[in-house]
């Protein structure tokens, strides 16, 4: 019982001092300690990933490729084909497909690059005429663009050894990622058993469920994003061709590539398309191009995203933009591409944990 005079608790003649801090403050301190511990672990993980990026990036790219290619592999393996042969055919198919896409995109951008740059210059001059200083700044940027490119090219040329090493490192990571895709596809049926072996005793079911939920989120994101980017690029390309906008194929290729950066990529590629149409075809056609871009974005936001990605983790646009920004600060363009699917995996894991432990006392 509590002694009213001393303000301490007594039990069997033994007195215990009253807690120095009230219960709410102690709970807040416990949450802060847990947050600092988790933040420290995450920070160490990010730093180690940056240090060992030549090994970490191929693994992450291979996981994304496996998530995208697994349906094709399962269809081949389902016909009775040997798993190694099915994985090899899948990897060969992706090499041919990616090589073809890169060739088409590069050819389209090279063929229409001069037209796009000329149209952007005209857009800058139009903005300078109608909006004064703001347009003049854009016109200066367009005028000095070639000189800036030449300056950067000269800097790169003066550091050939570094450039060659970067190219060699990129090729090595791409080859490693492709080999890992082959092994991940071939041995995917063993992943659950390996995970259960590595998991602490009694947590095998939870670890497997979390891994399956995270991979399903990444798989759905990759397939859905690819399909949505293809539909967006097709619709915008058709609209620009009907409006007779120069470089429509190159702009469509830009839209497709930008589709892998949700929200940000669509905004940038759409802005470039509207500016090119405005500069080369006038205000009316520019407004029509703006209508096409906005219509495609509305179609994506209200039809394609809910229908195609309805079974995956739905992320708030603010979370997506923050993930892209964080990925860019850590690993540049590669980080921007990897940030959103990794965030989708984290959301999937969090949903699985909440579903398992929300009802727990």
Average pLDDT taken over every residue of the chain: 76
pTM over 0.85: no
User: When comparing pLDDT for 130 and 51, which is higher?
Assistant: 51
Nearest Cα to 59, choosing from 141, 178, 146?
178
Q: Is the pLDDT of residue 145 over 60?
A: no
Q: What is the pLDDT of residues 234-270, one digit of tens each?
A: 998 999 889 888 778 778 888 887 887 777 777 888 8
Instruction: Give residue 187's pLDDT.
Output: 86
Most confident of 23-27, 99-103, 126-130, 302-306: 23-27
To the nearest 10 degrees (0 to 180), the angle between helices 83-131 and 133-143 is: 130
Mean pLDDT, range 270-293, rounded to an integer:
82
pLDDT band for position 336 (cuts 50, 70, 90): confident
Share of the chain above pLDDT 90, in %: 2
pLDDT tens digits, residue range 85-104? Answer: 989 999 898 888 777 767 76
Contacts by 209-216, CB closer than 8 A, 24 or more apart: 209/352, 209/356, 210/349, 210/352, 210/353, 213/348, 213/349, 213/351, 213/352, 214/345, 214/346, 214/348, 214/349, 214/352, 215/63, 215/67, 215/345, 216/312, 216/348
More confident residue, 136 or 307: 307
Residue 36 has pLDDT above 90, yes or no: yes
């Amino acid at each position: 019982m509590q002694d009213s005079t001393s303000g301490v608790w007594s039990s069997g003649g033994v007195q215990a001092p009253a807690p120095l801090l009230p219960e709410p403050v102690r709970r807040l301190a416990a949450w802060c300690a847990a947050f600092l511990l988790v933040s420290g672990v995450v920070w160490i993980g990010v730093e180690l990933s940056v240090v060992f990026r030549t090994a970490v990036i191929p693994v992450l790219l291979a996981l994304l490729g496996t998530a995208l290619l697994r349906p094709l592999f399962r269809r081949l393996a389902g016909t009775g084909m040997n798993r190694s042969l099915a994985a090899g055919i899948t990897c060969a198919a992706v090499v041919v497909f990616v090589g073809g896409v890169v060739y088409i995109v590069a050819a389209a951008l090279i063929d229409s690059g001069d037209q796009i740059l000329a149209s952007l210059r005209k857009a800058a001059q139009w903005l300078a005429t109608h909006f004064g200083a703001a347009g003049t700044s854009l016109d200066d940027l367009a005028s000095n663009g070639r000189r800036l490119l030449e300056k950067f090219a000269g800097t790169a040329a003066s550091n050939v050894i570094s450039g060659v090493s970067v190219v060699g490192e990129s090729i090595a990571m791409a080859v490693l990622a492709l080999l890992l895709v082959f092994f991940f596809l071939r041995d995917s049926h063993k992943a659950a058993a390996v995970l259960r072996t590595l998991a602490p005793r009694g947590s095998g079911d939870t670890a497997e469920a979390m891994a399956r939920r995270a991979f399903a989120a990444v798989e759905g994101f990759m397939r859905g994003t690819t399909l949505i980017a293809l539909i967006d690029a097709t619709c915008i390309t058709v609209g620009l061709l009907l409006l007779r906008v120069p470089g429509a194929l190159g702009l469509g290729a830009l839209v497709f590539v930008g589709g892998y950066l949700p929200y940000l990529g669509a905004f940038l590629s759409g802005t470039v398309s509207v500016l090119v149409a405005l500069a080369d075809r006038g205000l009316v056609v520019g407004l029509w191009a703006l209508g096409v871009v906005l219509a495609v974005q509305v179609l994506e936001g209200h039809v394609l995203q809910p229908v195609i990605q309805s079974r995956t983790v739905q992320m708030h646009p603010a979370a997506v933009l923050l993930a892209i920004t964080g990925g860019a600060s850590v690993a540049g363009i590669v980080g921007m591409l990897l940030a959103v699917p990794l965030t989708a995996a984290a959301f999937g894991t969090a949903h699985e944990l909440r579903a398992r432990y929300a009802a727990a006392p």
